[in-house]
Amino acid sequence: MNVKQRTLFQTWGSEPKRPAGTGATKRKGKAASRRRVVSSQGPPHRASSQVWPQEEDDDDVLLVAVYEAEKGISQGIPNGGVSGGNVPTEVDGCHDDPMFPPPAATAIHNLPGFDLSAGSVWIYPTNCPVREYQLSMAGAALLHNTLVCLPTGLGKTFIAAVVMYNFYRWYPSGKIVFMAPTKPLVAQQIEACFRVMGIPQAHMAEMTGATQAHIRKELWQKHRVFFLTPQVMVNDLTRGACPASDIKCLVIDEAHKSLGNHAYCQVVRELNNYTTQFRILALSATPGSDTKSVQQVVSNLLISRIELRSEDSPDIQPYSHERQLEKFVVPLGDELAAVQKSYIQEARSPCSFDLWGS
């Protein structure tokens, strides 16, 4: 093999050199378009067993096989849109190959409680300027268990409110749950969701550890949208107070905490024992410090799609303003100043040096 020739991995994504008469040039545009769809969904599919006549370069033969495999790939791409835009469309390709069956969604009659008239559209608020990244993330979160990673202050709660409202419409008898790790965050999120989408306050309930168990059981029956801490959710699931099979949407704030046996992980595992027909939306500004921790979050929360934006993302930059840091020096006060003085005197005494030296 020629030393200067690029390897298969170096040429991946480029158009393969096919034998004369195979029509590679005519189909170049269609193949390239289909390849972009494949790369966005995952690794390429296994090549077919068809072998082209041997030529000078083995890599070209492998690339031709990959190209032929791509002809049989079918993907579903959600159309963007505010109303009814989440219906998958068919991508050009062969659907007769049994090795690559078209994607199949759960049948409507297998979704108990789903309102067909309300489910034909999804609502996105336009009473404030529409940000394309929020619209895109909300649309993805309606169709997939999604981890939304956005810098602080760019509207994660807004996206959650849009998703919650649409599931609130689609399932008139279903339950929607928003979990936050602390009581102050719970109170903050319930106000924000009401302000964004206007879900009736009579249908919402806030529950923390201070709410007695028998009262929480009544709230689960009377209300539809709940804001609570994960510990409360775990307790109510284990006691049977929470109607787990009625939960259709679960929003998890500060999702990077979903490691090990955290209460978030316990909630998802317990819910999965009752039903698999619920959507998960996870929110985090920093999903993890390394790849291993991010993978744990993805696995523990059953995530199938990650929507990631940073401050350098083109669609984020118009809304990401330069931060200014201002330093404030806070005096210790008399009590802390006395403690500091005693500590310094003790550290400087000869006895202390003798003890450290020994």
Percent of the chain residues topping a pLDDT of 70? 67
Q: Decide: residue 23, CB within 10 A, 0-12 exposed, 13-18 middle, 19+ buried.
A: exposed
pLDDT digits (tens, 9 = 90+) for 287-324: 887 888 899 999 999 999 999 888 888 888 888 776 67
Q: Lowest-pLDDT range, 32-41, 53-62, 225-234, 317-326?
A: 32-41
Is the model's pTM score more than 0.85?
Answer: no
Is pLDDT larger for residue 179 or for residue 84? 179
Backbone phi, psi, residue 280, to 5°: -115, 130
For CA atoms 140, 141, 143, 147, give the dihedral sign: positive
Q: Are 194 and 201 in contact (CB under 8 A)?
A: yes
Single-letter amino acid, residue 78: P
pLDDT band for 56, please (50, 70, 90 cuts).
very low
pLDDT of 154 above 90: no
pLDDT of 7 above 80: no
Q: Lowest-pLDDT range, 148-157, 222-231, 348-357?
A: 348-357
Tokens of 231: 């510990």
Q: What is the pLDDT of residue 15?
A: 46
Q: What is the pLDDT of residue 99?
A: 54
CA atoms within 13 A on the CB side of 252: 32
pLDDT band for 89, please (50, 70, 90 cuts).
very low
Q: What is the pLDDT of residue 13?
A: 47
pLDDT band for 231, please (50, 70, 90 cuts).
very high
Q: What is the pLDDT of residue 23?
A: 42
Determine the length of the chain: 358
Once rounded to an integer, what is the mean pLDDT over residues 88-112? 54
Could you give the CA distance from residue 187 to residue 171 in angstroms, rounded to a whole number? 24
Please tell me whether residue 30 adopts helix, strand or coil conformation.
helix
Could you give the CA distance from residue 51 to residue 61 in angstroms, rounded to a whole number? 7
CA atoms within 13 A on the CB side of 312: 0
Write down all domains in the chain, each with its CATH number in brackets.
1-105 (no CATH), 109-319 (3.40.50.300)
Once rounded to an integer, what is the mean pLDDT over residues 171-195? 86
Q: Are 186 and 229 in contact (CB under 8 A)?
A: yes
